[in-house]
Amino acid sequence: MNKKHYIIPIFVPHKGCPHDCIFCNQKKITGQLGEVTADEVSQKIDEYLATIPEHGSIIEVAFYGGSFTAIPIAYQKELLEAAFHYVEKGLVRNIRVSTRPDCIDAEICSNLRRHGAGIVELGVQSMDEEVLKLCNRGHTARDVVEAVQMLKGYGFTVGVQMMVGLPGDSEEMALKTAEELISLKPDIARIYPALVIRNTYMEDMYLRGDYRPLSLEEAVEESKKLLILFEGNGVKVIRIGLQPTENILLGRDVVAGPFHPSMRHLVESLVYRDMLCCLLEKMPENHRNITVKVNPGNISELVGHKKSNIGFIKGKFFIDKLKIVQDICVEADTIVLIYDEKSVLLSKKDYFSLYSK
């Protein structure tokens, strides 16, 4: 039986965060106000557990928002103990927290370990010192290096979160950030295109004309390159783009920027387009009718948003007939190109390996 992964999110909005980064308004991002109590943690976990199948489920409790390890240690313990109770009972597999790179030390690591936390995600955002200063991050690239090394020394699964399109940033600098993070050997990563959120300093910059966010097309292209770089080097990308909430929608609290509720799908679709182009470029010329086979689980990515990949491929390669076949015999994340009774295939893993160096 395939086990399904469930995450129970507990938001601790802006609590303990020692800096107001120019892009951040945690109340808008999390959609939550006020201080979270241990009783509320237990109540939230109970509510989620009531909806999750008992068998074949991997369940985590995740403390998101703000900087968890910057809040007073007693408050950390209070929240962690509420969640750890469910770990001890075997109802929850793991606890994860998100925090800042400069809020990690031996005492914090020991406390997290004692209370069942196994995953720590660091809000890195950039490894460029000038970008960090412009964003008022208040930490350095060296803080990131030391935090990752310490967390790995304590046996945590380590996650890194980076943003693209920040003030002072560029695609080249973002790729360099990814390369530096990969060298630290984290386990997982998240990629967030920068958005202009209402009531932030970055909104003021945008309204003054001092900041231009990435277009959606630019953000998708840059995120694609980062996805290839991370996953081609063994770092699993677990999210691309902010989770949509009632507030996080363009025209509400997102003033401007490359927001899309299915950002990961747009990026993955571009990957599949590139994979298909890679195969077609190696195909002998004068083939106007081709067939592409794909696992049913990947049909949406292959076809692309609003079938954009189909039109692009037919136009670029002058194809008269492009037949898409869903075939359960094709391995997941693999495409098979068929022409003249010949077939060639390319897996996403091999594609990432080829183009991530």
Question: Does residue 66 register a pLDDT over 80?
Answer: no
Write the pLDDT tens digit of every residue in 187-242: 999 999 999 999 999 999 999 999 999 999 999 999 999 999 999 999 999 999 98
Residue extents of the structural domains in the chain? 4-190, 269-355
Q: How far is CA 325 from CA 229, 268, 291, 319, in A?
A: 29, 19, 7, 16
Percent of the chain with pLDDT over 90: 77
pLDDT value, residue 46: 97
Give 176: exposed, middle or buried? Use CB within 10 Å, 0-12, 13-18, 19+: middle
CB atoms within 10 A of CB 205: 17
pLDDT digits (tens, 9 = 90+) for 173-202: 999 999 999 999 999 999 999 999 999 999
Closest by Cα among 189, 133, 131, 140 to 161: 189
Of the CA atoms within 13 Å of residue 168, those in its CB half-sphere come to: 15
**Looking at per-residue confidence, does 13 or 257 come out higher?**
257
Predicted model pTM: 0.92
What is the predicted pLDDT for the residue at 355?
Answer: 86
Identify the burial level of 6 via C-beta atoms within 10 angstroms of its C-beta, where 0-12 means exposed, 13-18 middle and 19 or more buried: middle
Is residue 252 predicted with pLDDT exceeding 90?
no
Q: To which residue do tokens 């935090």 refer?
A: 147
Taking the C-alpha atoms of residue 169 and residue 186, their distance in angstroms, rounded to an integer, is: 22
Distance CA 124, CA 177 (A): 9
Do 165 and 214 contact (CB within 8 A), yes or no? yes
The pLDDT of 341-353, averaged and rounded, is 93
Q: What is the DSSP string of 65-84?
A: SS-GGGS-HHHHHHHHHHHH
The rounded distance, in Å, linking the Cα atoms of 157 and 118 is: 6
Going by pLDDT thresholds of 50, 70 and 90, the confidence category of residue 253 is: confident
Cα–Cα distance, 302 to 205 (Å, whole number): 38
pLDDT at 289 over 60: yes
Closest CA to 210 of 199, 224, 222, 196: 196
Largest Cα separation within the chain, whole Å, is: 71
Q: How confident is the model at residue 54 (pLDDT cuts 50, 70, 90)?
A: confident
Reported as a single tens digit per residue, the pLDDT across 112-132 is: 999 999 999 999 999 999 999
Confidence category of residue 250, pLDDT binned at 50, 70, 90: low
Separation of alpha carbons 343 and 354, rounded Å? 20
Q: In 3D, which of 144, 114, 113 has the Cα closest to residue 128?
A: 144
CATH superfamily of 269-355: Ribonuclease E, catalytic domain (3.40.1260.20)
Share of the chain above pLDDT 70, in %: 92
CATH 3.20.20.70 fits 4-190, yes or no: yes
Strands annotated E in the chain: 4-11, 57-64, 94-99, 117-125, 157-164, 188-193, 196-197, 236-240, 254-256, 289-294, 321-326, 334-339, 342-347
7-47 pLDDT, tens digit each: 999 988 655 566 678 888 755 444 455 689 999 999 999 99
Instruction: Render pLDDT for 305-345 as a digit per residue (tens, 0 to 9).
Output: 999 999 999 999 888 889 999 999 999 999 999 988 889 99
- Maximum mean pLDDT: which of 3-17, 53-67, 228-242, 248-262: 228-242
What is the pLDDT averaged over residues 145-162?
98
Q: What is the pLDDT of residue 255?
A: 92
What pLDDT, on the 0 to 100 scale, is given for residue 249? 66
Q: How many CB atoms lie within 10 A of CB 219?
A: 27
Contact in structure between 97 and 112 (CB atoms under 8 Å): yes
* Per-residue confidence (pLDDT) for residue 1, from 0 to 100: 37
pLDDT of 339 reads: 87
Residue 31's pLDDT is 47
Question: Which of 126, 105, 150, 158 is CA-nearest to residue 21?
Answer: 126
CB 303 within 8 A of CB 312: no
Sheet holding 4-11, edge to edge: 4-11, 57-64, 94-99, 117-125, 157-164, 188-193, 236-240
